[in-house]
Amino acid sequence: MIQTIIIDGLAFTLPMFIMAIGGIFSEKSGITNLALEGLQGFGAFIGALIAVLLMQVTGASSQVPYYVSFLAAAVGGMLYALVHVVLCIKFKANQVISGVVVNILAMALTSFLTKRLNGALFGQTSNKFVLGTSVRFTVPVLSKIPILGAVFTNVYPFEVLIIIIAVVMWYVLYQTPYGMHLRACGDNPHAADAAGIDVNRVRTIAVMLSGGLSAIAGMSYAYSVTASFSPSIYLGIGYLSIAALIFGNWSILPTLGACLIFGFARSGGQALIQQLGMPSTYNDLVRILPYVLTLFLLVFFSKHNNSPRALGEIYDKGKR
């Protein structure tokens, strides 16, 4: 049971974590990003579309569509993030409202396009692109370690990819000039501008990165939780990611801890239901556990958080 909780918990946690890192980059630059859910969904739509088209050529057994879909999703998510960029930076719209608009637009647009493309390309009326579940692998020696061996058992390839990307993003944020500029733009954009930093450029890159990382998370869930792309890809995980980064005080490692809490709450609840032999209908009840935890964590701990000082403020170069 513990092994199952760890395996399923990590498969749910790591995509949420990489999405939260995208949110950290955006909000550390000063742009409030409630659009993670929409960026996840639209990016996954692009990746899934490319995957099903490639499967017609390479066959369902080929791994080429799998890996290409993640790249396509990341590009699609970054391009779709430009909607949030244009609204918030170009037109100086309210960033919270912009995020909500991006989410609603993504859900409606991808649902419509999935049905239309299925009809035009495959002669089907389905509202989903069927992908199947990802292959998994087990590390021979390490998987035999008691309890911790579960970390190396039935691992999705995207979990390894996410860990690598997370390390790179940590390095970029804390060890590079761009990361320093990004944090400066989120704390004092006018001072950053006076120092010669192009604030709008830094913020644009940050929001686009959040789109790419969210899309990778979306493809991960498409190949694991849902086994397809459909409107069900919008599982509310984008909002969980936002809660995790807030609880993690906009820092990468504490955010990972918050994601682990949410992920293991979900997998632990499902394992408990199976252990007790309860009907599968109770799975829906279990899915609310991460959100209940989110509510309590934010109520009791959010007052101690220190968000970037210029978060959500519209930057106007002419005002100092």
- Predicted confidence at residue 70, as pLDDT, reads 97
Instruction: Identify whether the C-beta of residue 12 lies closer than 8 Å to the C-beta of residue 266.
Output: yes
- Predicted confidence at residue 58, as pLDDT, reads 87
User: Is 126 within a domain?
Assistant: yes
The 10 Å Cβ neighbour count of residue 299 is: 9
- Predicted confidence at residue 281, as pLDDT, reads 66
Per the structure, the complete domain to which residue 261 belongs is given by 2-130+169-304
- Predicted confidence at residue 319, as pLDDT, reads 65
- Predicted confidence at residue 282, as pLDDT, reads 66
CATH of the domain at 217: 1.10.3470
Q: Determine phi and psi for 273, rounding to 5 degrees.
A: -60, -45
User: Is 163 within a domain?
Assistant: no
User: Is 144 within a domain?
Assistant: no
Query: Could you give the number of structural domains in the chain?
Result: 1
User: Is 147 within a domain?
Assistant: no
User: Is 320 within a domain?
Assistant: no
Low-confidence residues in the chain, pLDDT < 50:
none
* Helix (H/G/I), strand (E/B), else coil: 155: strand
Instruction: Identify whether the C-beta of residue 46 lies closer than 8 Å to the C-beta of residue 215.
Output: yes
Contacts of residue 14, defined as CB under 8 A and 6 or more positions apart, other chains included, come to 158, 159, 162, 163, 220, 259
Looking at the DSSP assignment, which residues form a beta bridge with residue 155?
137
User: Is 265 within a domain?
Assistant: yes
- Predicted confidence at residue 302, as pLDDT, reads 67
User: Is 125 within a domain?
Assistant: yes
User: Is 82 within a domain?
Assistant: yes
CA dihedral 256, 289, 108, 119 (to 10 degrees): 100
Q: What is the per-residue pLDDT across 307-320, written as a single tens digit (0 to 9) for each?
A: 899 999 888 776 65
Q: Is the dihedral of CA 215, 219, 225, 227 positive or negative?
A: positive
pTM of the model: 0.95
65: left (phi over 0), alpha (psi -120 to 50) or beta: alpha
Q: What is the per-residue pLDDT across 276-290, written as a single tens digit (0 to 9) for each?
A: 777 766 676 777 777
